[in-house]
Amino acid sequence: MSWCHRKGRRAAALALAIALAILPAGSAMAQYLGGNGIHIDVAVQENASDGRMSIHGFDFDVLAEQAIIVDKRAFVRGVEISGNLLLAQDPGFVARLSPTELASAGLVAPAGGEQLLFNVLSPPASTMPDFGGRTISFWDGSLPVSWGPVPDDEGIRVINGSFFNPTDELVIPGGGDSDLDGFAVSTSLGSGSIHHHIKWLLLPDNGALPPLGPDDGVYMVLYEFSMPYYSEWVPVFLGIEAFAGGTTARGAALTSIENNFQLPLCSDGIDNDKDGLVDFPEDAGCADADDMSERGAVSECDDGIDNDGDGNVDFHDLDGDGASDYNGDSSCLHPDGLYEVVPEPGFATGLLFGLVGLASASCRDRTRRSAC
């Protein structure tokens, strides 16, 4: 596409955005033309069947019984032109709003008073070669979908709060190739409820203001989300579409991600439970390559539960030094430790713990939220 053509498209889009400013705030036309279409959030929930944290989609523009999009881990939103900013404020983040909305999906509220955290990943080349090594990947909107590096090192600024006085922010460089630590998106209420939107700002490569830059296309980033309570991170693809074809481009980008890159946690090339072991068969918590959790059920140091009630969960080794860290339980010396106690018991003591555990199993609920 020529520079003049791009400039014309951007100028027209900017004029359209100015015209939309006079429409009523609740106008469906304004919402659609703003680029986001529907109001959709990343839904952070707990699976009722196994107690693990999982990620879904939540659509506020459909009936409640259809609201949850189960196991959705890819989202692509269009930008809105706001002044001289290319901005996306969807998806936001949501957890349990009412039992009715989530009952059909077999989901329950996450823990109350827990921070929802995120990091940015450089996708592994072994499992996601089209994204391997790049913090941001780019597709120009021309079919077939093909992901590559961003043309001119365009970046993304993730903002919590206002632009001029953010409470938290992270700049993701377009030419980056390393994992980045994010920040706490929000903290769940006592009920486990969250509904919070942060800002995703597309940064031009040369500092030029719209409608001159950045390039038309879809900008894709692999984030991982967790709450310390669950001790496992779930990878989520979030893309920003800027003048690449609207809903058609967003749909094609989603299809590409969901068909080729949205992998089970036990075969995605990522150490999701942060125990230093990756995927099946290396991670003993993986039953097979299709397992959606790297947590195990046999070892207390790998089951995602704070068994000894000390506020720390399982064995975590983020820095690779062999010791548990980052909200990890220091009494867990390795991920296959049978008990979260200090010192780790010998066989006889372990047998006693096992018998006591079996006897009390009937009065311990799945998530430790009630006591006998």
pLDDT tens per residue, range 140-153: 999 999 999 998 88
Q: Are residues 206 and 292 in the same domain?
A: no
User: Which position has the higher pLDDT, 99 or 346?
Assistant: 99
Q: Are residues 209 and 340 in the same domain?
A: no
Q: What is the number of domains present in the chain? A: 2
Residue 307 lies in a domain: yes
Residue 140 lies in a domain: yes
Lowest mean pLDDT among 1-15, 82-96, 281-295: 1-15
Residue 267 lies in a domain: no
pLDDT interval class at 256 (50, 70, 90): very high
Q: Enumerate residues 6+ apart whose C-beta is below 8 A from 193.
A: 95, 96, 97, 109
In angstroms, the CA 200 to CA 238 distance is 10
In angstroms, the CA 231 to CA 275 distance is 10
The structure tokens listed for 248 are 């058609």
pLDDT interval class at 50 (50, 70, 90): confident
Q: In this model, does residue 1 exceed pLDDT 90? A: no
In angstroms, the CA 212 to CA 19 distance is 19
User: Which position has the higher pLDDT, 175 or 99?
Assistant: 175
Which residues constitute the domain of residue 358?
Answer: 272-372
Contacts 24+ apart (CB under 8 A), 16-23: 16/81, 17/80, 17/81, 17/82
Q: Are residues 137 and 285 in the same domain?
A: no
Task: Please count the other Cβ atoms lying within 10 Å of the Cβ belonging to residue 205.
Answer: 16
> In the prediction, which pLDDT does 63 show?
55
Output the pTM of the full model: 0.77
Measure CA of the first residue to CA of the last residue in the chain; give whole Å: 67
Which of 290, 366, 358 lies closest to 52, judged by CA? Answer: 366
Q: Are residues 107 and 225 in the same domain?
A: yes
> In the prediction, which pLDDT does 321 show?
60
pLDDT interval class at 320 (50, 70, 90): low
Q: In this model, does residue 54 exceed pLDDT 80? A: yes
Average pLDDT estimate for 172-196: 94
Last residue of a domain, one of 262, 281, 302: 262
Residue in the block written with tokens 């990343």: 42
Cα distances (Å, whole numbers) of residue 78 to 33, 125, 155, 249, 264: 9, 27, 16, 10, 27
Q: Are residues 244 and 346 in the same domain?
A: no
Burial code (b: 16+ CB inside 10 Å, e: under 16) for 103-131 equals: eebebbbbbeebebbbbbbbbbeebbebb
Task: Please count the other Cβ atoms lying within 10 Å of the Cβ belonging to residue 328.
Answer: 22
> In the prediction, which pLDDT does 21 show?
30
Residue 217 lies in a domain: yes
User: Which position has the higher pLDDT, 316 or 108?
Assistant: 108
Q: In this model, does residue 364 exceed pLDDT 80? A: no
Q: Are residues 246 and 324 in the same domain?
A: no
> In the prediction, which pLDDT does 161 show?
93
Q: Percentage of the chain with pLDDT > 70? A: 69
Q: Are residues 134 and 243 in the same domain?
A: yes
3-state secondary structure of 107: strand
Q: In this model, does residue 223 exceed pLDDT 70? A: yes
264 neighbors 229 (Cβ within 8 angstroms): no
> In the prediction, which pLDDT does 69 show?
83
> In the prediction, which pLDDT does 70 show?
82
> In the prediction, which pLDDT does 276 show?
85
pLDDT interval class at 108 (50, 70, 90): confident
Q: Are residues 292 and 222 in the same domain?
A: no
> In the prediction, which pLDDT does 139 show?
98
- For the chain, what is the mean pLDDT? 77
Q: In this model, does residue 267 exceed pLDDT 60? A: yes
Residue 225 lies in a domain: yes
Q: In this model, does residue 188 exceed pLDDT 70? A: yes
Q: Are residues 223 and 367 in the same domain?
A: no
* Residue 242, φ and ψ in degrees, nearest 5: -125, 100
Q: In this model, does residue 204 exceed pLDDT 90? A: no
pLDDT interval class at 318 (50, 70, 90): low
Average pLDDT estimate for 239-259: 94
Task: Sort strands 234-242 and 74-78 into parallel, antiparallel or unpaired.
Answer: parallel
Q: Are residues 250 and 283 in the same domain?
A: no
Task: Please count the other Cβ atoms lying within 10 Å of the Cβ belonging to residue 249.
Answer: 25
Average pLDDT estimate for 29-34: 31
Q: In this model, does residue 224 exceed pLDDT 80? A: yes
The structure tokens listed for 60 are 């506020």
Q: Are residues 99 and 238 in the same domain?
A: yes
Q: Percentage of the chain with pLDDT > 90? A: 42
3-state secondary structure of 161: strand
Task: Please count the other Cβ atoms lying within 10 Å of the Cβ belonging to residue 47.
Answer: 18
Q: Are residues 217 and 276 in the same domain?
A: no
